[in-house]
Amino acid sequence: MSNTPTEPVLLIDVDGPIATLTMNRPAKRNAMCDELLDDIDAFFAKPPEGVRVVIMVGTAGHYCSGLDLSEHVARDAEGTMRHSRNWHRVMDTIQFSGLPVVSAMFGAVIGGGLEMAASTHVRIAEPSTIFQLPEGRRGIYVGGGASVRIGRILGADRMCEMMLTGRKYDAQEGLAMGLTHYAVGEGEALPLARELAGKIARNAQLSNYMMIQAISRISDMSRSDGLFTESLAAAVSQTSADAEEGLKAFLEKRKPVFR
């Protein structure tokens, strides 16, 4: 169950336009260490040529159990603050790299693991999935972006209760609250992730990019600013070569072939 000295903590498999990233720290329930965070950051900073969609998954029955607390206790206040800000940067890189990201989840999706899942765009949960923010029970506070990302999914009131009590939610409860978009049977998360990733990869890349970049930012804006930004995104996408191909394919009753 433990990593060998030469075994990477992040396994990367590229199959055509889809890259699958497997967090590979089975002895730690795939808890996040600096090496794993750096490897994820490096991938999204410079993804392989031709990759259009990313799937994130864990190994040995768990997605990610959050920050490796053995690292947390070794930091002073300034170090912890800088570490938190680095998490924010990496989570932003995942969310806004321009690549759609699908999370195939099972087992622990806890603390930083839930923060990371919330930075991805499509989330699928198997029955074994446990969503939890237990930081308050451990005398600490979230530092990887939960206050913003998860707070916006759940609402401040529900998130506060979740943290105060250490409450766990299962896949069906997570589906009802928006922590996951799909609740599937055992062993079905990764197959569905591949199916959805294939569908997303067939979209025009510019359309995917606009959806990723615009929608969450528009939610931060005033109504008038959001509507203006929508118009700009529409103008860029609808005057592209892919838009021309999409319309032509519709009129010719065929599937579009995007760049």
Q: Hey, where are the domains in the chain? A: 10-201, 205-251
Q: Is residue 55 within 8 Å of 191, Cβ to Cβ?
A: no
Phi/psi for 192 (5° steps) reads: -65, -40
Cα(122)–Cα(104) distance, rounded to whole angstroms?
Answer: 9
- What DSSP state is assigned to residue 3? P
Query: Considering only the top CATH level, what class is 205-251?
Result: mainly alpha
Q: What is the pLDDT of residue 244?
A: 86
Per-residue pLDDT tens digits for 195-254: 999 999 999 999 999 999 999 999 999 999 999 999 999 999 999 998 888 888 888 888
Write down the catalytic residue from 7, 71, 78, 135: 135
Q: Give percent of the chain with pLDDT exceeding 90.
A: 83
Per-residue pLDDT tens digits for 144-195: 999 999 999 999 999 999 999 999 999 999 999 999 999 999 999 999 999 9
pTM: 0.93
Task: Confirm whether 252 is a catalytic residue.
Answer: no
Task: Confirm whether 135 is a catalytic residue.
Answer: yes
Q: What is the pLDDT of residue 163?
A: 95
Q: Is residue 21 within 8 Å of 12, Cβ to Cβ?
A: yes
Write down the catalytic residue from 7, 71, 78, 115: 115
Q: Is residue 87 within 8 Å of 54, Cβ to Cβ?
A: no
Residue 248 structure tokens: 């032509």
| Overall fold of domain 10-201 | 2-enoyl-CoA Hydratase; Chain A, domain 1 (3.90.226)
Of 51, 119, 54, which is closest to residue 87 (Cα–Cα)? 119
Integer CA distances (angstroms), 31 to 86, 97, 203, 211, 232, in order: 16, 23, 33, 30, 40
